[in-house]
Amino acid sequence: MYNKITAVLALGLLLGGCKLDLSSDGNKEDPAFSFDFEQNDHGWSAGFSDYPPDDPDTHELSSGLKALPTDSQKQGFMLSGHNRSDDLFMYIKGKFTGLEPSSRYQASISVNLLTNAGEGCMGIGGAPGESVWMKFGFGEQEPKQADYYLNLDKGAQNNNGKNAKIIGDIAASGANCEGSKYVEKVLASNNDSRIEFTTNQDGSIWLFVGTDSGYEGKTTLYYDKIDIQLKRL
């Protein structure tokens, strides 16, 4: 059974400083969602593509809720992989339900993450920061690897695709080129990087966010919080 994130029509309220509770205020036109990964994954799951599926060990793929490198008392959704294919895509995905059936929406996202990729650093094939692009996308079907590539058009590396747009890269001021220091970075959609989609007949849609890498080394990121805003068109 697919993991599902039940679509509710309001911004979630953070209870007790750790547990995210989503409740409705009746706003069916512009639903908003907030996901904090400190305690659980809220139905999000990890995916990887653009690598030989019969050779996952070489790419050192790893994911799941892990203690944050900056605070061992808190957790984030960790994604890690060694980009030996020169095009590794690492992402998390969730199925939203309860939206208006067969309806057009615009979506924007804000992602709080921890990255150890410094600015202006040299790396194999590309920079460990500026050559790892964050993308926000959608799919009428579940995003997953099909043979070698993703089954949706996310675009290649620093290009947008039919199903995804770039919202930035993972280079961060305050991190260093040795990768020994993690810092927080916020990436968000702007007017040009919002995505538009039409929901399925049952009012569902898959949304995903992840990194498309041209850096041929190892990238490990921690997703701390994700906010998504939808607007009915």
User: Which CA distances in Å does 231 have to 34, 197, 212?
Assistant: 15, 11, 26
**Parent domain of 54:** 46-232
Contacts of 17 (CB under 8 A, 6+ apart): none
For residue 16, is it within any domain? no
Q: Longest C-alpha distance within the chain, in Å?
A: 50
Q: Which two tokens stand for residue 50?
A: 């653009």
- pLDDT at residue 29, as a whole number: 75
- pLDDT at residue 28, as a whole number: 66
Q: Which two tokens stand for residue 183?
A: 């810092």
For residue 18, is it within any domain? no
For residue 187, is it within any domain? yes
For residue 2, is it within any domain? no
Q: In what helix (H) or strand (E) does residue 111 lie, and over which residues does it extend?
A: strand 104-115
Q: What does the alpha-carbon distance between residue 176 and residue 214 come to, in Å, rounded to a whole number?
A: 19
For residue 13, is it within any domain? no
State the CB neighbour count (10 A cutoff) for residue 174: 12
Q: Which residue has the tokens 């926000």?
A: 136
- pLDDT at residue 109, as a whole number: 98
For residue 59, is it within any domain? yes
Q: Which two tokens stand for residue 64?
A: 């799941």
Contacts of 201 (CB under 8 A, 6+ apart): 101, 102
For residue 9, is it within any domain? no
CATH number where 168 lies: 2.60.120
State the CB neighbour count (10 A cutoff) for residue 203: 15
For residue 165, is it within any domain? yes
Q: What is the mean pLDDT of each run of 10 residues along the chain (233 residues)?
A: 44 29 51 93 96 90 97 96 95 94 97 98 95 98 96 96 98 96 98 97 97 97 97 95
Count CA within 13 A, CB hemisphere, residue 73: 2
- pLDDT at residue 24, as a whole number: 31
- pLDDT at residue 27, as a whole number: 65
State the CB neighbour count (10 A cutoff) for residue 72: 9
The number of distinct structural domains making up the chain is: 1
- pLDDT at residue 94, as a whole number: 96
